[in-house]
Structure 1
């Protein structure tokens, strides 16, 4: 029972990182596609100001994920980080380079250096979620089992590639929706339509890649596919689809801020559907939650730590996100968003 609770907390924290970090990765994705120095000047300045107050805080979720895996499910942690060390290492390098590029780009005065740092930030914002998604696809495909050695076969399958592309599309979707709302609250009226169109494009990409993913998992990840097309997993996928449609409508309205909630809900519901589709396994058909669980005492301490974190850190994060989404932390000037 304790192991099951910790497993659901792990899934909840993964969803929090996918949504919180996904917004930032998505902003970096659109930074990559913003165009040259002059054409992309206004979008990139909006991205800088929208991300600056909160971009580091999302690492809290990632650290919590690692702690839960390591302490709560050591066999799962060992198996995943042994078999999938390469995509995870590439994702980690991308996180470091992405953070460095974002931190150094803004204060740098020389145009050539700004372009280099900006390129590092933008490219890493694309590659990092792709490799994280590819690793998740390797887990979902059932190719990763206790004793599996590191090899391309563990994560370079069609399922992993589709999962990586779906992750990138999800981050682009979240980033575009949030930037549409940011453009409105910062009165950057010329950028509202700019990011609204990109939100619709990313929704189309999500639908296409998601449909391909369901077709692929039917053969390569049959256990997860069955879970996604039956029972609670299917219900969550359908609710997520409704949330995506609602987001497409809300992002076109004057108060696009509500679209942020539906976009986050849609992505979180997909992550939840994945969790329900895999149960009772952490590694489909080879390692259950109970088999992977650590010592009972460790699991109980993890529940206690999670409770303390929810009481002490949770409210602070809620306040931070609320202040940021209401434009309180760092106002934007006309010069920043002007062409």
Structure 2
């Protein structure tokens, strides 16, 4: 029972990282798609100010995922990191380069340097979610088991590629929804429509990839496909679709108050649907939760630590996110929201 509880904690934390970190990855995607220096000036400044107060906090969820995996399910951790070390390394390199690019772009005075650092940040924001999604797709397809050697075949199957593309599209959707709400909060009215259109386009991409996923997973990830089309997995997926449709309606009607909540619910429910679809396996169909669980006393301590984290860290993170979305941490100035030249643009 404790192993099952820790497994669900792991799924919930993955959902939290997908939503929190995914929003920032999505902002990076739109940074990449913003165009040249002049055309993309205003969207990029909004992205800088929207992300700056809290963007590093999302890594807390990723660290929690790693700790839960290697402590609670060490055999699964070994199997995953042995078979999928290359896409995981590429994702990690993307995270490092992404953080460096974002941190160095803002204080840079020369346009050429801002372009370089901005390109690093934007490309890494595309690469990282793709490889993380490919890893989840490889696990879901059953290509990873204890003793599976590392090879491209493990993480380049149809489910892996599709999961990577879905991760990029879903994060782009989240990022556009959040940036549209931030644009309204900061009074940048022209950017409200700018990101409204991109949120709708990203949702269309998610829908198309979701439709493609039905025959792909039926052939390549049969166990997960069955879980997503039956029982609680199907229920969570239907609720995710409903939340997505509600988000699109709110975006279309420019009802900004709840659209961020429903967009987060869309992705979180999709991750929960994957968790229900994959049970009782950690690695379909070779390792169940019970088979991959660590020592009983380790799981008890891990459960206690998770409870403490939920009581102490959870409310603090919620407060930071709340303050950020209300504009308390770093409000934009008039200079930030008007189309004016920036220092160093002529250098």
Q: Note whether the superposition's TM-score is higher than 0.5.
A: yes
Task: Give distance in 2, aligned partners of 1:37 and 1:270.
Answer: 36
Is the Cα contact below 8 Å between 1:180 and 1:192 reproduced in 2?
A: yes
What runs of 5+ residues in structure 2 fail to find an aligned partner? 340-347
Q: Aligned with 1:18: secondary structure?
A: helix
In the other structure, the counterpart of 1:324 is 324
Task: Give distance in 1, aligned partners of 2:53 and 2:236.
Answer: 32
What runs of 5+ residues in structure 1 fail to find an aligned partner? none
Report whether the alignment pairs 1:80 with 2:80: yes
C-alpha RMSD of the superposition: 0.7
Task: Give distance in 2, aligned partners of 1:92 and 1:124.
Answer: 10
What is the deviation of 1:199? 0.3
In the other structure, the counterpart of 2:257 is 257
Alignment of 1:20-169 (within 5 A): 20-169=20-169
Q: Aligned with 2:282: secondary structure?
A: strand
In the other structure, the counterpart of 1:215 is 215
In the other structure, the counterpart of 1:174 is 174
Deviations 1:265-284 (A, max 9, x none): 01000000000000000101
Task: Give distance in 1, aligned partners of 2:214 and 2:155.
Answer: 18
What is the deviation of 1:163? 0.4
Is the Cα contact below 8 Å between 1:224 and 1:274 reproduced in 2?
A: yes
Q: Aligned with 1:129: secondary structure?
A: helix
Task: Give distance in 1, aligned partners of 2:149 and 2:299.
Answer: 27
What is the deviation of 1:254? 4.1
Is the Cα contact below 8 Å between 1:140 and 1:284 reproduced in 2?
A: yes
In the other structure, the counterpart of 2:242 is 242
Deviations 1:27-69 (A, max 9, x none): 0000000000000000000000000000000000000000000
What is the deviation of 1:255? 3.7
What is the deviation of 1:176? 0.3
In the other structure, the counterpart of 2:274 is 274
Deviations 1:176-228 (A, max 9, x none): 00001000000000100000000000000000001111210000000000100
What is the deviation of 1:338? 1.5
Task: Give distance in 2, aligned partners of 1:225 and 1:97.
Answer: 35
Is the Cα contact below 8 Å between 1:43 and 1:337 reproduced in 2?
A: no
Task: Give distance in 2, aligned partners of 1:229 and 1:197.
Answer: 31
What is the deviation of 1:257? 3.1
Report whether the alignment pairs 1:11 with 2:16: no
In the other structure, the counterpart of 1:303 is 303
Q: Aligned with 2:108: secondary structure?
A: coil
Deviations 1:221-257 (A, max 9, x none): 0000010011111111111111001000111334413
Task: Give distance in 2, aligned partners of 1:136 and 1:310.
Answer: 25
Task: Give distance in 1, aligned partners of 2:120 and 2:333.
Answer: 26
Report whether the alignment pairs 1:206 with 2:206: yes
Deviations 1:79-134 (A, max 9, x none): 00000000000000000000000000000001111000000000000000000000
Task: Give distance in 2, aligned partners of 1:122 and 1:295.
Answer: 42
Task: Give distance in 2, aligned partners of 1:42 and 1:21.
Answer: 22
Task: Give distance in 2, aligned partners of 1:177 and 1:134.
Answer: 24
In the other structure, the counterpart of 1:333 is 333
Task: Give distance in 2, aligned partners of 1:76 and 1:15.
Answer: 19
Task: Give distance in 1, aligned partners of 2:315 and 2:231.
Answer: 34
Task: Give distance in 2, aligned partners of 1:153 and 1:109.
Answer: 45
What is the deviation of 1:335? 1.6
